[in-house]
Amino acid sequence: MSRSISLEASAPQARRRSLRAVAAIGAAALLGSLVVAATPAYAQPVVEPVVIDETPDRAVVESGNTFDSVADRSDFDPGYLISDLQFYDRNGMTESEIQSFLASKSGTCQNSRCLDILRQDTAARSANEQCRSFSSGSDERVSRIIYRVQQACGIAAQVLLVTLQKEQSLVTSTAPSQRAVDFALGYDCPDTAPCNVEYAGIGPQLYSAAWQFQRYRLNPSWYNNQIGTEYIQYHPNTSCGTKRVVIRNAATAGLYNYTPYTPNSAAMSNLYGTGDSCSSYGNRNFWRLYTDWFGNPTGQLSSAVSKSRLAGADRYSTSVALAASAYPDPSAVSTVYIAVGTGFADGLAAAPAAAVAGGPLLLTNRASLPDSVRAEIVRLAPENIIVVGGPSVISGSVVASLEALATTVTRVSGDDRYATARALALLAFPDGADEVFVASGGNFPDALAASAAAGSRGVPVLLVPPGSNSADSATRSVIDQLGATTVVAAGGTSVISTNYLNSLKSGTDVTSLVRRGGADRYKTAASINDYAFPTATAGYLASGVNFPDALAAAAVAGAQNAPLHLSPGSCLPAAAVGHLTLSGVESLTFVGGTSVLTSNAYNYRPCS
């Protein structure tokens, strides 16, 4: 039986150290001290190490603060603490992501200084060699200050957040002292004198530390620790000795200039605790905190994550390989979805529908059914086949071929890709959905990651025309019929406008709007996966520069509650590594042959 469903119309090294060696300064002298020089200035860099009688940096966080323990000491390389790509990332996090992160790490605040609620004024700074111009701000949230410093100085928000925690445990503190806030990153707090009140305040501290990190990079010969072989002290006490460290990049050199000690074996043996009297913890804690919060700072995926590859001779046989792997037992499949393999438009919304139906999404030519796809359908012997797209997308001859392979063949289509997506939503989710994803219909990357996420959550994806500032009545009607109360936007404001998102509340029960986006398609995919897959055991990786493999992979990933990440083909994006690490993924399936995902990507080479 064949039927058709259509929905028409429609600071130098020695000047920055741990604050516990600093003499107390009257709080009254610190409050409100926010105006600083446009560029932190020194007559000349001071590079001689200063020995003090202290244990540098905290060994453990204060009691009551909890962390998910992800870091494995076997992954620690003292010469490569963090990649330059991740350290000097001007687009590391959005302002809303920073605010959400701060809120997620804070408990019930006991005063007004917790970082998720603290507000301060910030002073303007002119452009300089290290940073772009930085405008003044009034009553700004810390998240906004961090974001603006990231943009101005090109130091990733993740680095600033980790440094705030490493120095003063401010990110998780529920009762920060004024002193801790005023010298949040330990900038210009020498070991032998009080902190410089000129740099007191969260704004001056963030900006000056970021400025200093760039100064290390731009003027490496001024400082003790440079790329190459260096002998790094274990502790301010010189009798504790040194370690030969081959520093591999500028970011690692900068961290050693900011905190000039490396952890000894005792500190590393007790990664989340204390070592011995010669242990230091600053750079260990930086690496450990970054790993726990954002994934491996080097951008490298642990070799403990197993890997495999699914690929065919072409896009059609790759979709077959995915189906055969995901559904080895044909009796488990009652419905198969079919989408054209030469265009992404109609298939974008088909992946979550196939995932919810518990069947694969197979690809076809417009005019003829590939032999490999036919053979796979014969093996699966489904009762139902859903063809996505009208006759101009998938011809009648293909439908006729399919009618010989299943009891019921249903064509779902609309006047355009947006109407087809709406029709799929109503067909595949007859009982409604409390959540709907929306993604751009003008390009495929964001929608592909959203499709796997939506399929895992049992909800549909609707498409948004590029440049739209208001949702049409047909889209709002479908959301109303589904009974959705939450809409998740895949992509930033340049992809889906705030006005469009807000308009989805009109005439619907939508009360919650969520945006998951990033600076590029790989970060957007990671952001979506952070939202939909806080934990996962398996993941998929497909090309982010072409759609066919990812289209079929999204359906399988969604059905298996597995995230789908994207790759430019020759490497593994740091954003993907971050999510895969934090979610606990134990196996990663590469979708596509070596011409699509090269051996470099397969060997977990980080993107640079």
Q: Is the pLDDT of residue 135 over 90?
A: yes
Weakest mean pLDDT among 44-48, 298-302, 588-592, 603-607: 44-48
Res. 15: pLDDT tops 60: no
d(CA 297, CA 574): 8
DSSP 387: E
The burial of 522, by beta-carbon neighbours within 10 Å (0-12 exposed, 13-18 middle, 19 or more buried), is given as buried
Say how far apart CA 326 and CA 552 lie, in whole Å: 11
Beta strand pairing call for 587-591 and 564-567: unpaired
Q: Collect all residues with Cβ–Cβ distance below 8 Å to 431 and sequence separation of at least 6.
A: none
Stretch 320-344: mean pLDDT: 96
Look at strands 119-122 and 137-141 and give their pairing: antiparallel
Q: End-to-end distance of the chain based on CA atoms, in angstroms?
A: 53
Task: Tell me the two tokens of residue 398.
Answer: 């293909």
99, 273 contact by CB (below 8 A): no
Yes or no: say if 163 and 205 are a contact pair by the CB < 8 Å rule: no
Q: Which residues pair with 338 in a beta bridge?
A: 362, 387
Tokens for 63? 């009691």
Q: Which residues pair with 606 in a beta bridge?
A: 572
Sign of CA dihedral 41, 44, 47, 49: negative
Is residue 597 over pLDDT 70? yes
Contact 191, 13 (CB under 8 A): no
Q: What is the pLDDT of residue 581?
A: 87
CB 602 within 8 A of CB 307: yes
For residue 406, the model assigns a pLDDT of 97
Q: What is the pTM (predicted TM-score) of this model? A: 0.73
Rounded to the nearest 10 degrees, the angle between the axes of helix 250-258 and helix 282-294 is 130
Mean pLDDT of 433-460: 95
In the predicted model, is pLDDT for residue 56 greater than 70? no
pLDDT tens figures, 223-282: 999 999 999 999 999 999 999 999 999 999 999 999 999 999 999 999 999 999 999 999
What percentage of the chain reaches a pLDDT higher than 90? 80
Please give the pLDDT value at position 2: 58
User: pLDDT tens digit string along 171-226?
Assistant: 999 999 999 999 999 998 876 788 899 999 999 999 999 999 999 999 999 999 99
CA distance 86 to 158: 8
Do residues 517 and 492 make contact, with C-beta atoms less than 8 angstroms apart?
A: yes
- Phi and psi torsions of 371, nearest 5°: -60, -40
Cβ atoms of residues 474 and 463 within 8 Å = no
Q: Looking at this protein, which amino acid is placed at residue 352?
A: P
The Cα 248–Cα 263 span in angstroms is 17
Q: In the structure, what pLDDT confidence band is assigned to residue 39 with cuts at 50, 70 and 90?
A: very low
pLDDT tens string 532-584: 999 999 999 999 999 999 999 999 999 999 999 999 999 999 899 989 988 98
- Using the predicted structure, report yes or no on whether residue 392 has a pLDDT greater than 70: yes
Q: What is the dihedral of CA 226, 230, 235, 238, to 10 degrees?
A: -120
CA distance 46 to 13: 7
Query: Tens digits of per-residue pLDDT, 487-512?
Result: 999 999 999 999 999 999 999 999 99
- Using DSSP's 3-state secondary structure scheme, residue 590 falls into strand
Q: Give φ, ψ of 270 to 5 degrees.
A: -120, 75
Q: Is the pLDDT of residue 317 over 70?
A: yes
Q: 25: helix, coil or strand? A: coil
Residue 528 · residue 516 · CB < 8 Å:
yes
Q: What is the mean pLDDT of the chain?
A: 88
- Contact status, residue 451 vs residue 525, Cβ threshold 8 Å: no
CA–CA dist 188, 158 (Å, integer) = 21
Order of strands across the sheet that contains 306-310: 306-310, 587-591, 538-543, 564-567
Taking a C-beta distance cutoff of 8 angstroms, is the pair 525, 494 a contact?
no
Residues linked to residue 454 through DSSP beta bridges, in sequence order: none
Enclosing H/E stretch for 591: strand 587-591
* CA–CA gap between residue 115 and residue 103 (Å, rounded): 8
- Average pLDDT rounded to a whole number, residues 455-468: 97
CB 597 within 8 A of CB 567: yes
Residue environment code for 391-400, b if the CB has 16+ CB neighbours within 10 A, otherwise e: eebbbeebbe
Q: 103-119, pLDDT tens digit by residue?
A: 999 889 999 999 999 99
Asked whether residue 23 carries a pLDDT value surpassing 80, the answer given is no
142-153 and 157-168 helices, crossing angle to 10°:
120
User: Does the pLDDT at position 442 exceed 60?
Assistant: yes
State the Cα–Cα distance between residues 497 and 481, nearest whole angstrom. Answer: 23
Question: For residue 449, what pLDDT is reported?
Answer: 92
CB neighbour list of residue 338: distance below 8 Å, 6 or more residues apart: 361, 362, 363, 364, 373, 385, 386, 387, 388, 394, 398, 402
Query: What is the dihedral sign for C-alpha 216, 219, 224, 225?
Result: positive
What are the tokens at 333? 């499949």
C-alpha–C-alpha distance, residues 447 and 551, integer Å: 9
Closest CA to 166 of 55, 54, 284: 284
pLDDT given for residue 3 in this prediction: 60
